Homo-oligomer: A and B are copies of this chain.
Amino acid sequence: MIALDAMGGDKAPDVVVEGLAMARVRHPEARFVLFGDRARLEPLLAAHPALAGVATIHHTDLAVSADEKPGQALRRGKGTSMWLAIESVRDGTAQAAVSAGNTGALMAISKFLLRTSPGIDRPAIASFFPTMRGESVMLDLGANVDCNARNLVQFAVMGAAFARTCLGLLKPTVALLNIGTEEVKGNEAIKGAHALLKEADGPFEFIGYIEGNGIGAGEADVIVADGFAGNIALKTAEGTARQIASYLAGAFRRSLITKIAYLLARPALMSLRDRLDPQRYNGGVFLGLGGLVVKSHGGTNATGFAAAITLAVNLAAGDLVNRISADLEGLGDVPEVQASPT
């Protein structure tokens, strides 16, 4: 069973039900429970007869709003569609929850209800994205602005488990995002994590530092960064892709000849567009909690929400939470490191 926060996101609940209808085709065996306003959800579900018997509604009038602060959401969030969805994961009714709601609130409620996994100090947000060699995983994407070496090592373990589960890699390569590839570069946290990971013997291969231009080149399967650098890198890549798409559109509009060229190349360009479509890679996974939560972009469309559902289904099937715990145990104690921010 996958729990869906039907009232989270800019275009909820419509996009949630549309996305579910798309995802259902890919996962005929999966079952879903929609938390939200029954009066609004019933007519939407009725429009998709294929969802009958696959999705049930759990009614609630309450929802977390987009501008709610994490602290407010914790105090007042009980009984909201977001809260109930995560609660169903805690209770074991659902194997994963998906929400397009407020990220801060979702993380706060998830930490409160699901608790941090044993051996993990702080959860992180991970996502995968296209590279020249295939797909890679990056984390943290914004949950932790400041990180110490120990946090980064734990991110490495969690990211590697994610890559094994979702990308089917047996021993993914792991790199630390840095501003140079020499060992002397970077801040104390990164240098400390480098020293620890060099000695680590986990189900991944630590390959050292990677620079920003190595991300798109696919130099590593898993890229580890603090939430500040990771978020900047991911969003800069998105922005650059949009910038180049806009240049390209302009180039093809230049003359009658370039317009003809566009028509001829259209199928190839469309498949390229699909490959880079951010909706296809929608879904940030909260790693390091006692249950699975997938965060969809708030402004996503149905294709994007369906991608987030697929991610949740795959992670639940891959038993990611237990895999992370087992990998951490195998790694032994990660020592506390001095001289790095807490």
User: Which residues in A have some Cβ–Cβ distance to B below 8 Å?
Assistant: 131-132, 142, 145-146, 177, 179-180, 186-187, 211-217, 225, 227-229, 231-244, 246-248, 251-252, 254-255, 257-258, 260-265, 268-269, 271-272, 275-276
Contacts and interface: CB of A to CB of B under 8 A. Distances in A.
A236 B214 CA distance: 8
B272 A179 contact: no
Copies in the complex: 2
A189 B59 CA distance: 45
A238 B233 CA distance: 11
Contacts of A263: 261
A236 to B, nearest CB: 4
B246 A257 contact: no
B244 A241 contact: yes
A141 to B, nearest CB: 9
Given A261-B262, A265-B251, A216 B232 contact: no
A238 B71 CA distance: 39
A4 to B, nearest CB: 25
Contact of A212 (B232, B252, B261): B232
11 contacts: A145-B179, A179-B227, A179-B231, A186-B228, A211-B231, A212-B231, A216-B242, A217-B243, A237-B240, A247-B276, A251-B271
